[in-house]
């Protein structure tokens, strides 16, 4: 994602930031009472920088322990700091596991969440006899033999536009549980297996529940056809376990 250097205007600005973070030490992105979230940490740094109370709008609210290579936020500010100085100035006030790497002034109508056309996520697992001390924060260790072709066959039933209630942690507060999954692929890279998802949006827990269900297929606990039945049931009780958070990473937000 490229961010142009924009000319500062002497008026309220709508600023768009791109940032990456290791979510291991945070209780997710969205604000929590204890303040230990990516959002709260970023808002604190921005408040120190601008001397304003900042309201952040985010493209995707990642859960506790989930990472991001490309998260996008926007906020309004009267700050006179040159836009090209924002990343360096903010990073000097952030812990080392959060990095802002892009900043740009955008139109008043830009909204990090509602202007987004798609989100792309990757879930990574390690299939090995023993866990790897260096990748443990970013992968789910799976010491089982997996049947990848069965798992890939099951993804065919999930790609496209469907009601994904069966794979959501919470749907009661969602007006419309229908999502359009444009891409769902499984690729192997040595001992690592990556699940890549691209959709207009995702329900809470949707990706991790799909991964947990596909792992059940890989272990021959479910057939590919049963994944189709689970989808059509719209009942979360029929799907697999929620895969742990550390394997999930927000890779891209498209506008």
Residue found by looking up tokens 């309220």 in the block: 12
DSSP string, 97-141: TEEEEEEEEE-TT--TTTT--EEEEEEEEE-SSS--TTTTTTSEE
Among the listed residues 22, 63, 97, 132, the single catalytic one is: 63
DSSP string, 139-208: SEE--S---HHHHHHHHTTTSEEEE-GGG-S--TT-S--EEEEEEEEEEEETTEEEEEEEES---TTHHH
Question: Hey, is 57 helix, strand or coil?
Answer: strand
Q: Quick one: DSSP state of residue 64?
A: T
Question: Hey, is 210 helix, strand or coil?
Answer: helix
CA distances from 242 to 102, 167, 172, 212, 247 (A): 33, 9, 18, 6, 12
Whether 63 sits among the annotated catalytic residues: the reply is: yes
CB 189 within 8 A of CB 125: no
Phi first, then psi, for residue 244 (nearest 5°) are: -65, 155
Closest CA to 55 of 27, 31, 26, 81: 31
Q: Which residues are tagged catalytic? A: 63
């Amino acid at each position: 994602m490229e961010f142009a250097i924009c000319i500062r205007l002497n008026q309220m600005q709508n600023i768009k930031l791109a940032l990456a973070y290791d979510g291991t030490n945070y209780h997710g992105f969205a604000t929590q009472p204890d303040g230990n979230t990516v959002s709260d940490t970023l808002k604190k740094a921005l408040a120190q920088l601008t001397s304003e109370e900042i309201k952040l709008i985010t493209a995707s609210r990642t859960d506790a322990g989930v990472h991001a290579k490309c998260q996008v936020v926007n906020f309004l500010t009267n700050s006179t700091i040159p836009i090209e100085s924002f990343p360096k100035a903010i990073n000097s006030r952030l812990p080392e596991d959060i990095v802002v790497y892009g900043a740009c002034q955008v139109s008043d109508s830009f909204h990090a969440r509602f202007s987004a056309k798609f989100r792309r996520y990757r879930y990574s697992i390690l299939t090995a006899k023993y866990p790897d001390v260096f990748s443990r924060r970013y992968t789910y260790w799976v010491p089982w033999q997996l049947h990848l072709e069965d798992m890939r066959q099951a993804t065919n039933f999930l790609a496209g536009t469907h009601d994904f209630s069966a794979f959501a942690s919470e749907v009661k507060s969602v007006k419309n549980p229908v999502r359009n999954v444009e891409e769902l692929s499984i690729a192997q890279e040595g001992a690592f297996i990556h699940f890549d998802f691209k959709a207009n949006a995702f329900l809470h827990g949707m990706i991790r529940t799909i991964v947990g269900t596909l792992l059940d297929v890989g272990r021959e606990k479910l057939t590919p056809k049963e994944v189709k039945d689970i989808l059509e049931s719209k009942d979360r009780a029929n799907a697999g376990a929620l895969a742990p958070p550390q394997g999930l990473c927000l890779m891209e937000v498209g506008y």
